[in-house]
Amino acid sequence: MSRLWMCFLFLWGVGAGLLAQNDLTLNRERDRVEIPFEYINNFIVVNVTFNNLLPLKFIFDTGAENTILTQREISDLFAVNYQRRITLYGADLNTEMYAYLAVGVDLNIGGMVRARRQTILVMEEDYFEFEKVAGFKVHGILGADFLRRFVVHIDYRKRQLILQDPSTFTGPPNNEYHAVPTEFNRYKPYVYLPAQVRPDSDPYPLKLLMDTGA
């Protein structure tokens, strides 16, 4: 399945609240952690330990609403509890795919963030075929639901995801960052930017999804 299909998966009958995650904590009682990542073919790839035992590779994707495990044989191995089967639709709104709502899953992200008793989506088949599309082995998507508890800084130069407790965040230095109007919808970040067709035309406001998985 191409990335174009991945961008336009629609969840049928699954609300954002149902997959909302609550038990997310930073390791070592810190208010800020740095998670190393690999930058492969324009994808941010992080190490994830599944159920405190199995090391996996996940794509960090701010454009995906939910965390997804693409290979069901992994969750079957751990006898994960599937709450129910749900239907997903591709970009054409006709092609049906299926996933399971898996509950009680423990994830450890980069050895720095503990996500206990999570509800994730497990694909019935490996529809995405990441290895063919991205060119490397990957087991799932770390979605925007994982981010909502933290202030997130992506440092591409140092290859780090920096997560900070909002209660301790005092804001970046004014000379290092530029503020952009942003909206969060179902955990996903959208920015508003002016665009012009010609230099003499009036600017037109665009709403753009900040998608690290595109």
Mean per-residue pLDDT, 47-60: 94
List pLDDT tens digits, range 94-132.
778 899 999 999 999 988 888 888 899 999 988 878 787
Percent of the chain with pLDDT over 70: 83
Task: Provide CB contacts within 8 A for 132, sequence distance 6+.
Answer: none
Neighbouring-strand partners of residue 24: 115
List pLDDT tens digits, range 169-187.
887 766 677 777 888 877 7
CB 180 within 8 A of CB 147: no
The overall pTM is greater than 0.75:
yes
Calpha distance 154→146 (Å, rounded): 14
- pLDDT score recorded for residue 23: 67
List pLDDT tens digits, range 21-41.
556 677 766 788 899 999 988
- pLDDT higher than threshold 90 for residue 46: yes
Q: What is the CA radius of gyration of the chain?
A: 18
List pLDDT tens digits, range 86-96.
888 766 667 78
CB 196 within 8 A of CB 205: no
Residue 66 DSSP class: S
CATH number for the 3-168 domain, one of 3.90.1640.30, 3.40.640.10, 2.40.70.10, 3.60.15.10?
2.40.70.10
